Amino acid sequence: MTRRVEAEDQGKRNERINEIIRAAYDIMGRKGFVNVSLADIAVEAGISKALLHYYFKDKDELVGEIYRYAMRQYLGTALSVLNAPLPLKERVDGLVESFYAFIQSDPQWFTVVMELTILGLRNPSRKEEIFSQHVFIRDLTADVFRKAKEEGEFSLRVNEDVVASIMLAMANGFAMSYAIARDATDIPEFFTYFKKMIMDLVGPEEESLPNRS
């Protein structure tokens, strides 16, 4: 078998795997992980259960793949904003607004991520992966503040990792509220204060918050 044929075969295999993962993500968003069987996923993907078993032996093997797929969905949007050649405030505004636009376009995203996060934390073989993904996203966000500080755009009142962690916590809290009772959430007011709270952590070094350690 030539390398070209091998490459084509691997390309088709990867495409099939991606189709299965997308199908699993979609049906999990509608029904939840515990309510979905491999047979359900096979039907959603338009393949036989036997073929699905060829790629994934059970649902647990799919957990990590679905989680990575879900995180990549948002990271593509976030990175385009974080890496934009704009002042920090505009990037913070853009990141917050892009997050809201993202969960509006894909309302099931947060419920899938949270369900898989809980499943992963209860599974020793998946816990490290969940932790690594969280740290990766936090560090990406923190780097934006770190680089802007190094370039003299501003000074941080707290550590950049703390700022990034606060941003993630607030975003997750909003996403949960939106998923549970979106009509009861004052979205414009929330995002106004979200952005203000983050930028309030930016200021001259002499205004630094007291060390509580």
Q: pLDDT tens digit string along 16-66?
A: 999 999 999 999 999 988 899 999 999 999 999 999 989 998 888 888 888
Q: Is 46 left (phi over 0), alpha (psi -120 to 50) or beta?
A: left
pLDDT tens for each residue of 6-19? 554 777 888 999 99
Angle at which helix 3-31 crosses helix 38-45, to 10 degrees, equals 120
Instruction: Compute CA distances 93 → 6, 74, 89, 146, 198, whole Å.
Output: 46, 16, 6, 17, 10
Q: Cβ contacts of residue 5 below 8 Å, gap of 6+?
A: none
pLDDT tens per residue, range 183-203: 766 777 888 888 888 888 776
Report the share of the chain in percent with pLDDT over 70: 90
Q: Between 1.10.357.10, 3.10.20.740, 3.30.465.10, 1.10.10.60, what CATH number should domain 1-57 receive?
A: 1.10.10.60
Instruction: Return the pLDDT at 68.
Output: 87
- Under a CB-based contact definition with an 8 Å cutoff, are residues 158 and 209 in contact? yes
Q: What is the CATH number of domain 60-207?
A: 1.10.357.10
pLDDT for 98 beyond 90: no
| pLDDT (mean) for 96-110 | 85
Q: What angle do CA 207, 209, 140 make, to 5 degrees?
A: 100
Q: What angle do CA 118, 119, 124 make, to 5 degrees?
A: 105
Fill in the amino acid letter for 91.
R
Sign, Cα dihedral of 186, 81, 171, 72: positive
pLDDT for position 44: 94
pLDDT of amino acid 25: 93
Q: Is the pLDDT of residue 180 over 90?
A: no
pTM confidence score:
0.76
Domain ranges of the chain: 1-57, 60-207
Looking at per-residue confidence, does 139 or 1 come out higher? 139
